[in-house]
A and B are shown apart, each in its own frame.
Chain A
């Protein structure tokens, strides 16, 4: 499937509460175009708790259940089992969570659901900090990044959690990384996730213009720089198969180009930029990409 085959039906209503240029708003719009109307969404606390609309309005044309922060994967397990019991096995039950709800407070429930091979799709839109509460650090925040709780930069001794491999170690049906800046790749992965059975996880890199200190018009550009520099690698793993890198730039650009495009890295010294470049290189070597 490519983006030319995608439906022009919209499942996200106009007038949602996403900021201009929000990666998470765009991601939902396009994810639902693939998943379709037989989808029920479980949403823990995140920016999307607001984006989805204030009572009595809703931004979504599919059923949605808001849930407490730590509970998404467990609630979705209950929802899916209930649909199965009712004979509605064909409903996609989707967790739509931010990085805080996935990497941090929701990780235990996520691990439990992945281990039990719950037949759900877990989507994490990762904007690399607690953006809804005003840009506080999470375990998805990259080393060096400014946030309001890391005013001099996220400590370099920290490593951003490797969610892809954490989830992959549960041997799920499907695990992938994606970003809406590469729509073909994004659509293919949601299509694969939709058609697989068992636990499926998609990690989306998702810009936050106010949190990343970027102009909203540069949202797509910055997500592309993340991929072109190797900061974020587009890949997937189907059960029983090796990791498959789904997009390889002809040549990786220096991470400096990605970092300098964002205000949250403005304070970095050259030494720190080099350190980040070294880490990216090590990771790309591990993946056999350089």
Chain B
């Protein structure tokens, strides 16, 4: 088995190469830059047979990817933060057009003031569009998820946004098992869309649609989101068969007998794992639930997993101002119909890259008796 040390960004680029996209369009923004630098090199030295379009903005990056996808080829782009925000209108359009574009977002705060460090405000602000959203913990997971993303997107005809934490994951060296191209090809078949821009069989895409039809189109998007659970499961099964690595919609750690459960998405999961071990060593029955797919949100499974727990601490790295952390909203929604609900703590753990240490997580659990489950919780 071939292993190497690489940055999270390089792992993403490798995943993209193995997926054999035909068009990549991108505009640089910290901390996404290493992804597109690596892909540019792959295209320039012939490792990746594709067009790389060096556009003048993120709005054009996503637009060019959309055009390529509508013309019937596999398309990829990557961005962060302000870049993702600038793409917003086209992110919507891609969903309505049912195009399986894959986008990697290196999570970063959005100004003002300027801040290049990580939080999940950028992607959480795009949660309602109809893009599937996956949050990754490790470089290996990022690479593997990019391959899975193309598989799932092309079957459900919805785009997928894969998240890696800026710097914490994008700029950190980790050991990565390098898949063989033959394995990737076995896992991911060539992209053969049914409908695309074709001069032999001309069709119009995106013509104005009146309310009755528009309503049905939107209902179809939700239906596809619901159906995507099955496709994601199928992708994970096939992935395990080909590569031997196991993935789910979520992941848990020391959860079955836990009283206190931390819920988190992204690379800080690793920090929480260590904190869970420390709490267990000192006799606190802590556990961890990692959200991988935030869209679609696997609320039925999460309701089952959290059944009978006394406390659920949701560690958010973004919030909907005037309401609560977005992950908290989802967990609360999932538990609404349970008769015996755990106490749910809405914790804003970090924004704009505010450092999080194992002690910070341990302290939350140790001081749980002093915390309120009816307010947003902030760190000192």
In chain A, residues 123-139, which have Cβ atoms closer than 8 Å to a Cβ of chain B? none
- Asked if B204 and A52 sit within 8 Å, CB to CB, the answer is yes
- A86 and B71 within 8 A (CB): yes
A86 to B72, CA, bound (A): 9
Distance between A60 CB and nearest chain B CB, rounded to angstroms: 6
A275 CB within 8 Å of chain B: no
Cβ contact within 8 Å between A38 and B213: no
For A68, the chain B residues whose CB sits under 8 A away are 63, 89-90, 93
A78 & B65 in contact (Cβ 8 Å cutoff): yes
* Cβ 8 A contact of B202, one of A62, A82, A83, A108: A62
With A74-B63, A78-B65, A81-B64 in contact, is A55–B57 under 8 Å at CB?
Answer: no
| Residue pair A58, B73 in contact (C-beta under 8 Å) | no
- List, in ascending order, chain A residues with CB within 8 A of B66's CB: 67, 71, 75, 78
**A90 nearest CB neighbor, chain B only:** B199
Instruction: A75 to B69: give the CA distance in the assembly, Å.
Output: 10
Residues of chain A within 8 A of B67, CB atoms compared: 42, 65, 67, 74-80, 82
One of A111-119, A155-163, A180-188, A190-198 contacting the partner: A111-119
Chain A min CB distance to B355 (Å): 38
Partner of A63, one of B65, B202, B208: B202
Q: What is the size category of the interface that chain B forms with chain A?
A: 35 or more
Interface string of B38-80 (1 = CB under 8 A from A): 0000000000001101111101110111111111110100000
**Is A34 positioned at the interface, with any CB of B under 8 Å from its CB?**
no
A41 to B194, CA, bound (A): 19
Interface string of B240-279 (1 = CB under 8 A from A): 0000000000000000000000000000000000000000
A21 at the interface (CB under 8 A from B): no
Tell me the bound Cα distance from A85 to B53 in angstroms.
13
Instruction: Give chain A residues whose Cβ lies under 8 Å from the Cβ of B209.
Output: 54-55
Closest to A83 in B: B71
Write the nearest CB–CB distance from B380 to chain A, whole angstroms. 44
CB proximity of B353 to chain A, nearest CB, Å: 30
Chain A contacts for B64, CB-based, 8 A: 74-75, 77-78, 81
Question: A76: which B residues are within 8 A, CB to CB?
Answer: 67
Is A108 touching B51 in the complex (CB atoms < 8 A)? no
| Residues B63 and A75 in contact, CB atoms below 8 Å apart | yes
Q: Is A256 interfacial (CB 8 A cutoff)?
A: no
Q: Which residue of B lies closest to A85 (CB)?
A: B22
Chain A residues, CB < 8 A from B197 = 40, 63, 65, 79
Q: Does B206 contact A (CB under 8 A)?
A: yes
Name the residue on A nearest B60 (C-beta): A74
Which B residues lie within 8 Å of A171 (CB)?
Answer: none
Chain B CB count within 10 A is highest, among A57, A74, A80, A116, for A74
> Given A42, A63, A74, which contacts B203 in the complex, CB threshold below 8 Å?
A63
With beta carbons under 8 angstroms apart, the residue of A52, A62, A81 that contacts B68 is: A81
Q: With A53-B207, A62-B199, A82-B71 as known contacts, state yes or no: A108 contacts B56, CB within 8 Å.
A: yes
- Residues B210 and A54 in contact, CB atoms below 8 Å apart: yes
Main secondary structure of the interface of B (DSSP, over half): mixed
B174, chain A: closest CB distance, angstroms? 32
Give the 6 A-B CB pairs with smallest separation, nearest first.
Answer: A78-B67, A66-B206, A112-B56, A78-B64, A74-B60, A82-B71
Q: How far is the CA of A85 from the CA of B71 in the complex (A)?
A: 10
Residues of B within 8 A of A (CB): 22-23, 25, 50-51, 53-57, 59-61, 63-73, 75, 89-90, 93, 197-199, 202-210, 213
Contacts of A73 in B (CB 8 A): 60
Give me the interface of A with B, judged by CB distance under 8 Å: 37-40, 42, 49-50, 52-58, 60-68, 70-71, 73-86, 88, 91, 108-109, 111-112, 115-116
Docked-complex contact B207 and A58, CB < 8 angstroms: yes
B56 near A78: Cβ-Cβ < 8 Å: no
Cβ-defined contact, B22 with A82, below 8 A? yes
Sample 29 A-B pairs with CB under 8 A, ordered by A number.
A38-B199, A50-B208, A54-B210, A60-B202, A60-B204, A61-B202, A65-B67, A66-B206, A67-B66, A71-B66, A74-B61, A74-B64, A75-B63, A75-B67, A78-B64, A78-B67, A79-B67, A79-B71, A81-B22, A82-B51, A82-B68, A83-B71, A84-B51, A86-B22, A86-B71, A108-B59, A109-B59, A112-B57, A116-B53
- Residues in B neighbouring A83, C-beta threshold 8 A: 71
Docked CA distance A97–B23 (Å): 24
Whether B198 pairs with A52 at a CB distance below 8 angstroms is no
Q: Select the residue from A38, A79, A112 with max chain B CB neighbours within 10 A.
A: A79
A50 to B, closest residue via Cβ: B208
B56 near A115: Cβ-Cβ < 8 Å:
yes
- Within the assembled complex, what's the spacing in Å between the Cα atoms of A283 and B207? 40
- Supply 7 further A-B pairs (C-beta < 8 A) apart from A66-B205, A75-B64, A78-B53: A53-B204, A64-B207, A68-B63, A74-B55, A75-B63, A77-B25, A78-B23
